[in-house]
Structure 1
């Protein structure tokens, strides 16, 4: 396929800052994920592109190596090629996979993850865990008139609940997915809460049920309440995004 990098040289080399390799990595990633560098595009070899960008060959090699390790490009004797996005996702770190997932997939995944998180939290939460979860709940109620703060404490409630599961895989999965959940869902959730203020009271009620179940170590109710809560959130998010 014809090399299509020439029109993006100015974008790549403008204001590279101190960490040139990292900046180049991020800019190449943006070009690839946006489709501006389509699958199987041929990238220039290190000698040619480093000269085009006015940087050292070793610096470009560092950026190319990072792109190759994370699956954005493939390198061979035949040249350096852009990898199709679906192939990038299949070998990329989990956080990248989540970040590039469909909204419906994210919402369904969240139901599974958080209902199990609530179940294990009810079984394993200690006094400090419950104190942290309850503090988030109290702050949600105190800030129900401020959408941004309300959503912040809502998010913290779920993170604290996750820590209370004392399952490192659940915790790490939640943390890896957190940024993507927030980017994909947070702004839409704010819109839905503004459109439907009653949803704030419903959300508080769900969190109260979950907290009570965790306190009483009722893992079945904790899981069911969380599943019902996330399903409700999913419906409001889908409605607000239409």
Structure 2
């Protein structure tokens, strides 16, 4: 463990023990360094690292405070961290596995809590996906918004933030899927239609099953294509989406 890591751990210990509760202000840098038994430089580096992690908030001209430590706030950095992962097959498939574990359960929960207004928003994005079948970027933007609205209906901000972080990475995979698979558009629309219909009946088991089928189909497609010598996932250039199938 480096000296900076030790400094970070000591500040985290102060927070864990309640010596620095959420919303509290840290002592001035010289006092904090003396309290930690470290140099001011190390204390400063530790504060910077914890600020990036949303544990601390540095307010110019005022001082440094412990944040609310709400899970949704602390998880916000997940998406940025996920984006830094290399586009190798193992990392991408691992993320899809996590999504397969979480998203169907979240969709089932959403079915028991979704409001009429939220259901109408889900339908809006579904309709927009149908209209955007020739525009890959718009199709995937509404695809992501569709799933975000569904998970938001659970009322669980931590779950929403976790899945948002994971989906930020897999969004490029969905774009790639649309670019290289001439049947992906029709299948994706049909799967989203099934999710919406299940949600509209407030059937938790059916909603979970529909979401599981959708994520599983994507996961299987990735297993077949990501490991092959296909073009890299970094490109998100707009190209026509070749679709011949229609939602059933």
TM-score when scaled to structure 1?
0.59
Structure 1 moving runs of 4+ over 6 Å: 57-60, 68-71
Partner of residue 39, structure 1: none
Structure of higher RCO (CA pairs closer than 8 Å, 6+ residues apart): 2
Matches within 5 A, 1:19-168: 62-67=44-49, 94=75, 95-96=77-78, 99=82, 102-166=91-155, 168=156
CA distance in 2, matches of 1:118, 1:200: 21
- Show structure 2 runs of 5+ residues with no match: 1-38, 54-73, 228-248
Separation in 2, partners of 1:68, 1:122: 37
Unmatched 5+ stretches in structure 1: 1-56, 72-92
- Which of 182, 203, 206 is the equivalent residue of 2:168? 182
Aligned length: 162
Could you tell me how far 1:175 is from its partner in structure 2?
Answer: 2.0
Aligned partners of 1:181 and 1:146: how far apart in 2? 19
Deviations 1:168-201 (A, max 9, x none): 2xx3233244244323x22222112111121111
Report if aligned partners of 1:188, 1:240 keep a CA contact under 8 Å in 2: no
| Pair 1:206 & 2:191 matched | yes
Summarize the Cα distance change of 1:174–1:163 in structure 2 as closer, same or farther, 3 Å threshold.
Answer: closer
- How far the C-alpha of 1:60 sits from its partner, in A, is 7.9
CA distance in 1, matches of 2:136, 2:43: 46
List per-residue Cα deviations over 1:56-106 (Å, max 9, x = no partner): x978853443336879xxxxxxxxxxxxxxxxxxxxx54449725932221
Change beyond 3 A, Cα 1:107–1:133: same
Residue from 195, 202, 227 that aligns with 2:212: 227
**CA 1:69 to 1:128, structure 2 compared with 1: closer, same or farther past 3 Å?**
closer
Q: CA RMSD in A?
A: 2.9
1:129 positional shift: 0.9
| TM-score, L = length of structure 2 | 0.58
Secondary structure at the aligned position of 1:121 is classed as helix
